[in-house]
Chain A
Amino acid sequence: MADLVLLFFLIVCAVAAVVQKELLNSVIILSIYSLIMAVVWVRLGAVDVAITEAAVGAGISTVLFIAVLTRVKRREELTRIRLQILPLIVVLAVGLTLIYGTLDMPDFGSPAAVTNTHVVPRYLEKGVEETGTDNYVAGILASYRGYDTLGETTVIFTAGLCVVLLLRSNKKRL
């Protein structure tokens, strides 16, 4: 029941963020959206995703949006809204295809799902002796998927460097 209210909350926030003409209002509403989304992740039991959503979605990206707002005009240009048939049909078709694709997925938390039967039992059996850590998640991330984690870290490091370089060059020009 509370989950339904939360999901309805998300829909209202998304629509309100699009409808608002003042961009700062849209940014505030988007941050509220991310805060609610973090609660949805918590309700699903995905604690680490919730921390990431709260830190990145609500925190950093909102501050970045505000930093952009300091450089641009605060109001959206008034445009005449008219109904465009072809994009509407394309969007509806893609949405229905995605919903149709989810019909084959296993039930939420089902023990027969592929993610619970394929490699996870082996990790749980051999994980401690093969990786030497008591924490399965750390063992899988740092040992079994070590190269994957290395690649992700490289990507994040590069992105951080790019942000630092962009901000520095901006400051010098002003």
Chain B
Amino acid sequence: MFEFTILVIVISAFLTLYRMVKGPTIYDRILTANIIGTKTVVVIVLAGFVFKSPQFFIDIALVYVLINFILVLAFLKYVEKGRLD
């Protein structure tokens, strides 16, 4: 059951690749990175339940969420201001 859910979520994340490759503006690609981040957090927690030790995997999921947040902030700051500081 968890495996099937992982498969569905991974395929739904795969569909966003169209916007990543085609995406006319830069914001489509940033949104793709954000969506894939949120999808994969769910996949990581589900994989934790597949391996029957969710506590470690929830830790990674938290690290992952924070890094994805920093990533999107860095991209958007660069697009808006042209520099990072």
Contact = CB atoms under 8 A, between A and B. Distances in A.
B20 A29 contact: yes
A120 interface: no
Give the interface size bracket for A toward B.
35 or more
A36 B39 CA distance: 10
Given A2-B6, A5-B7, A63-B74, A28 B30 contact: yes
A51 B60 contact: yes
Contacts of B82: 70
Contact of A62 (B64, B74, B83): B74
B11 A45 contact: no
A140 interface: no
Nearest to A43: B47
Interface stretch (A52-60, A80-88, A125-133, A147-155): A52-60
Contacts of A63: 70-71, 74, 84
B14 A42 contact: no
Contact of B78 (A2, A24, A29, A45): A24
Contact of B67 (A6, A28, A54): A54
27 contacts: A2-B7, A5-B11, A5-B14, A6-B10, A24-B78, A31-B33, A31-B71, A32-B20, A35-B33, A35-B68, A36-B40, A39-B40, A39-B43, A42-B44, A42-B47, A50-B44, A51-B60, A54-B60, A54-B63, A58-B71, A59-B67, A59-B71, A62-B71, A63-B71, A63-B74, A66-B84, A70-B84
Interface in A58-99: 58-59, 62-63, 66-67, 69-70
A54 B32 contact: no
Contacts, number: 105
Contact of B44 (A2, A12, A32, A39): A39
Interface of B: 3, 6-7, 10-11, 13-14, 17, 20-21, 26, 29-30, 32-33, 36-37, 40, 43-44, 47, 51, 56-57, 59-60, 63-64, 67-68, 70-71, 74-75, 78-79, 82-84
B29 A35 contact: no
A47 interface: yes
Contact of B74 (A29, A32, A66): A66
A16 interface: yes
A45 B51 CA distance: 8
A67 B77 CA distance: 11
B60 A47 contact: yes
